Amino acid sequence: MSLDLQFKIKENENYRRYLRENSAWYKLLNRDPQNFKYFEDEVREVYKLTRADKISRTLDTIEMLEKVLVTLK
């Protein structure tokens, strides 16, 4: 595995955790560093870090606050 790829993985806790849980990625990343993009995409999907997930969580929070304010009136 290339050094820059190792540094990227070491800097991001989600990447390290996902690699520990799915060790098959070690082999894929060692053989072809271009797979890192797919690795990043999969990590984002599994840990719900995509923009759509963030927007959804924000909307859920706003709805919850709205309900709390309605019940306080």
pLDDT surpasses 90 at 53: no
Domain residue extents for the chain: 3-72
pTM: 0.74
pLDDT surpasses 90 at 32: yes
pLDDT average, residue stretch 40-56: 91
Name the nearest CA neighbour of 29 among 13, 40, 17. Answer: 40
What is the dihedral sign for C-alpha 35, 18, 45, 59? negative
